[in-house]
Amino acid sequence: MRSGSVDLDWWSKELGRVLEPGIFGENLVIEGADSRKISVGDRFVTETVELEVTSARIPCATLAVRMDDPGFAKRFAKAGRPGFYCRVLKDGVVQAGDAVTYHAHSGPPVLMPELLRTYGKNLSDEDRARYIAAPIHHKLRALLTSA
């Protein structure tokens, strides 16, 4: 199996076929990245680019159609390997093979599987405060602060 995203490699094994980068709609694959261990606020830095994690990827009907499996969105959510979205803090050009440095968020973690599991659900006051304290995606922040 090729080297790449821990999540893509896991899904390739799970589905019994090689999944190429982009199958889940991702724009960038970071070798060794495991979305189960990524938190809101974590950063990925190259020589020219800095990205900050803001949210988990939420599966939808489009993903189910792409995978030719009507139940795939639920399967994807249950697996707890959602991938993640980032905001661009410093823009530039990224090329295959560029070195990427990982910097963990210094605050209380909001891990991607947790964010996926709690998406659209009521949170405890403690969890809501932890989510809002993280540099979470602005749309999710608006949902959390309006509730």
Using one digit for the tens of pLDDT, what is the confidence trace for 15-46? 999 988 888 888 898 988 999 999 999 999 99
pTM recorded for the entire structure: 0.89
Residue 78 backbone dihedrals phi, psi, to 5 degrees: -65, -35
* In the predicted structure, residue 122 carries a pLDDT above the cut 80: yes
Task: Give the domain ranges of the chain.
Answer: 33-146
Residue 22's pLDDT is 87
Domain 33-146, CATH 2.40.33.20 — does that match?
yes
Give the pLDDT confidence of 53-79 residue by residue, as tens digits.
999 998 888 888 989 899 999 999 999
User: Does residue 1 surpass a pLDDT of 70?
Assistant: no
Q: What is the DSSP string of the chain?
A: -----HHHHHHHHHHTSPPPTTTTS-S---TT--GGG-BTT-EEE-SS-EEEEEEEPPP-HHHHHHTT-TTHHHHHHHHT---EEEEEEE-----TT---EEE--SSS--BHHHHHHHTTS---HHHHHHHHHS---HHHHHHHHH-
pLDDT surpasses 60 at 2: no
